[in-house]
Amino acid sequence: MRFGSALMGASWLTAVFCGLVGAPAPAAAQVTYNCLNASGQRYLSYSPCPASRPPGLIYYGPQAPAPRPSVPVPVARADEELTYMSPRCASMREGIRTAPARGVDHRTQSELLRNYQAECAQEQAEARSQLRAEQQAKRREQQDAKRQANADKQLAAADHEKLMSQCAEMRGAIRQRRARTGMTEGELRDLALFEQRYEARCSAPR
């Protein structure tokens, strides 16, 4: 009984071993070769291109994949309050801003940010306050300048309207005097002087 069991076990091991030996090997990844013949025509082959250059064939080998173009990492805009900060804190802030474009890993970026917040958070808050105050002052100056320009424009329009009214009155007076008959030499001289004043004042606006 023991001999039969041993024989059956040996037969089973032999069958397994033979099965493993006879089993086909896993298929390797198939490589495609891009070859060129003597006439300059390309063809694809699953076998390497002939290296001995028989008539009509030239060996070129498999083509390497073209390198993928690198995508530039966008850089955030520089903070406006940097001009109000110390050189050290401003330099640290710029290092954090440009870290992604320089290829700094996320762990290092987090450490830079922690150090910056611990050392420069208060300074950055004060710098932002100064920046806001300056921006508000500039806006007030611009608004004041705009209001002054509008006031000057309105005043100029009022002066022009007043001048046009005066010139119209002077033209009416000149027509009335010219229509008079029997004017003395003194009245004629006065009329000539009045016309000169009219020309000096109203010729340009008219």
- Summarised one tens digit per residue, pLDDT across range 127-182 is 999 999 999 999 999 999 999 999 999 999 999 999 999 999 999 999 998 888 88
Report the C-alpha gap between 199 and 52 in whole angstroms.
108
CB 92 within 8 A of CB 127: no
Type of residue at 84: Y
Report the DSSP pairing between strands 57-58 and 42-45: unpaired
Report the C-alpha gap between 82 and 107 in whole angstroms.
24
Structure confidence at residue 75 (pLDDT): 67
DSSP for 141-194, please give it: HHHHHHHHHHHHHHHHHHHHHHHHHHHHHHHHHHHHHHH-SS--HHHHHHHHHH
Specify the higher pLDDT residue, 5 or 176. 176
Percent pLDDT > 70 in the chain is 69
CB 108 within 8 A of CB 95: no
Residue of 39, 36, 43, 35 lying closest to 62 (CA atoms): 35
Element at 57 (helix H, strand E): strand 57-58
Type of residue at 15: A
Phi and psi (nearest 5°) for 183? -75, 140
Most confident segment among 11-20, 61-70, 73-82, 97-106: 97-106
pLDDT digits (tens, 9 = 90+) for 80-124: 888 999 999 999 999 999 999 889 999 999 999 999 999 999 999
Structure confidence at residue 31 (pLDDT): 66
